[in-house]
Amino acid sequence: MARAVSNILETKIAFDVNQPPDLRAARHEIGGQGIAPGRYRVRRISGILPPGVSKSIGRGRGRTLLLGIPIASFDVRDHRLVYHFWPVVDEIESIDGQLVGRGRLFGRVTFCHFRLERLPSVGTDPQVTRP
More confident residue, 59 or 131: 59
Give the model confidence (pLDDT) of 49-99 as tens digits.
Answer: 999 999 999 989 999 999 999 999 999 998 999 999 999 999 999 998 899
Q: pTM, whole model, 2 decimals?
A: 0.67
Question: Given this model, what pLDDT does residue 34 score?
Answer: 59
Domain boundaries, the chain: 2-119
Rounded average pLDDT over 32-40: 78
| pLDDT cut 70: percent of the chain above it | 66
Question: Given this model, what pLDDT does residue 97 score?
Answer: 87
SS (H, E, C) the chain: CHHHHHHHHHHHHHHHCCCCCCHHHHHHHHHHHCCCCEEEEEEEEEECCCCCEEEEECCCEEEEEECCEEEEEEEEECCEEEECCCCEEEEEEEECCEEEEEEEECCCEEEEEEEEEEECCCCCCCCCCCC
Banded pLDDT at 121 (limits 50, 70, 90): confident
How high is the mean pLDDT of the chain?
77
Rounded average pLDDT over 36-53: 95
Q: Please say if the pLDDT value at position 3 is more than 70.
A: no
